[in-house]
């Protein structure tokens, strides 16, 4: 007899990625709860989103990251806690770690990650300091003895593909495309729903316990030059490519205002340093989601680009 699916609590479930995690958890048969500040919000869009949660069988739990009693109460009803909190609340996940430790029943914690592997990045400032908060939460989780999985996913497709990899551009190239570095370094682009699916699949998987879960589907691992060539083939147009050498990229990071400097620093780490792909996974520390779950029918970059034709 198959074991019962874990009860999953999603914290930050109404956010950009969080709504996908809630949907994937419910779709994959987990009893799913979402911690929300207001179960009947006046904002029509948020109210509509919460209704889709409830229609999918999701339980809404009224609570707040800054109300420890509500946090502990929510955590006590879960086997797995997945945090999808935004960048401004990363450090405050220490409250969630404290609640999980106090509750004492959680079998797996996924802190809010989903970008670069923060323990092995050489990303430059000011992004380095921001990602330092994620490092702090990792160490706090480990010190508390909480079983964990750190989900690392490269670029969100919805962020990097509408502009065909030009991170500061408002849309696809018209006549020229700006490329950081030489354009030959491989990066990873994953559709948000697929990130959520792989994350939830790992929730009950002992192979992912106390490991980094690297989400990098093979067909979605390609260089900026390859991405542009794919777009040129689809549109029948050719774009002039303007290559920005690393020194110029670093100078632009230093001179740009927030949040452009952060976006450029992430682009430098991915497109110039190759941090999303340029390494072998240490089996003692990490696992490849595509190898664990080869049957997942993920959205390829090729398919995703068809949305913009």
In order along its 309 residues, the chain shows pLDDT tens digits of 346 899 999 999 999 999 999 999 999 999 999 999 999 999 999 999 999 999 999 999 999 999 999 999 999 999 999 999 999 999 999 999 999 999 999 999 999 999 999 999 999 999 999 899 999 999 999 999 999 999 999 999 999 999 999 999 999 999 999 999 999 999 999 999 999 999 999 999 999 999 999 999 999 999 999 999 999 999 999 999 999 999 999 999 999 999 999 999 999 999 999 999 989 999 999 999 999 999 999 999 999 999 999
Residue 160: in which H helix or E strand, if any? helix 157-160
For 221, the 3-state DSSP assignment is strand
125-135: b or e for each residue (b if 16 or more CB lie within 10 Å)? ebbeebbebbe
Model confidence, pTM: 0.96
Angstrom distance (rounded) from CA 71 to CA 55: 24
Whether the Cβ atoms of residue 202 and residue 143 lie closer than 8 Å to each other: no
Distances (CA, A) of 282 to 109, 120, 285: 21, 12, 5
Comparing CA positions, the residue from 217, 189, 188 lying closest to residue 297 is: 217
DSSP string, 227-267: HHHHHHHHHT---EEEEE-HHHHHHHHHHSPTTHHHHHHHH
- The residues carrying an active-site annotation are 134
Of the candidates 180, 185, 186, 184, the residue with the CA atom closest to the CA atom of residue 245: 180
- β-bridge pairing 286-288 and 32-36: unpaired
The span from the CA of 53 to the CA of 84, in Å, is: 16
DSSP 28-51: TT--EEEEES-SS-SSHHHHHHHH
Q: For the packed helices 127-143 and 260-267, what is the interaxial angle rounded to 10 degrees?
A: 70
Q: Is 161 helix (H, G, I), strand (E, B) or coil?
A: coil
Alpha-carbon torsion (50, 51, 55, 57), positive or negative: positive
pLDDT value of position 3: 65
Q: Which of 266, 28, 38, 6 lies closest to 14 in space, CA to CA? A: 38
How far apart CA 183 and CA 223 sit, in angstroms, is 6
């Amino acid at each position: 007899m198959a074991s019962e699916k874990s009860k999953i609590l999603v914290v930050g479930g109404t956010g950009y990625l969080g709504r996908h995690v809630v949907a994937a958890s419910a779709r994959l048969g987990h009893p799913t709860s979402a911690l929300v500040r207001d179960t009947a919000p006046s904002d029509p869009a948020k109210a509509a989103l919460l209704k889709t949660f409830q229609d999918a069988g999701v339980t809404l739990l009224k609570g707040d990251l800054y109300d420890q009693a509500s946090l502990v109460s929510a955590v006590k009803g879960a086997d797995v806690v997945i945090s999808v909190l935004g960048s401004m609340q990363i450090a405050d996940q220490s409250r969630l770690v404290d609640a999980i430790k106090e509750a004492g029943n959680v079998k797996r914690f996924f802190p809010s990650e989903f970008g670069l592997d923060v323990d092995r990045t050489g990303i430059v400032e000011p992004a380095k300091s921001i990602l330092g908060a994620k490092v702090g939460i990792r160490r706090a989780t480990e010190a508390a003895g909480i079983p964990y999985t750190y989900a690392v996913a490269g670029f969100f497709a919805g962020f990097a593909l509408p502009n065909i990899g030009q991170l500061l551009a408002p849309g696809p190239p018209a006549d020229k495309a700006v490329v950081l570095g030489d354009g030959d370094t491989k990066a990873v682009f994953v559709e948000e729903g697929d990130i959520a699916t792989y994350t939830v699949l790992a929730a009950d998987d002992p192979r992912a316990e106390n490991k980094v879960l690297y989400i990098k589907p093979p067909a979605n691992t390609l260089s900026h030059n390859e991405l542009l060539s794919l777009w040129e083939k689809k549109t029948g147009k050719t774009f002039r490519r303007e290559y920005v050498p690393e020194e110029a990229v670093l100078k632009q990071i230093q001179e740009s205002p927030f949040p452009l400097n952060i976006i450029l620093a992430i682009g430098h780490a991915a497109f110039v340093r190759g941090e999303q792909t340029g390494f072998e996974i240490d089996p003692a520390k990490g696992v490849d989601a595509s190898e664990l779950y080869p049957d997942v029918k993920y959205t390829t970059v090729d398919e995703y680009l068809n949305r913009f034709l």
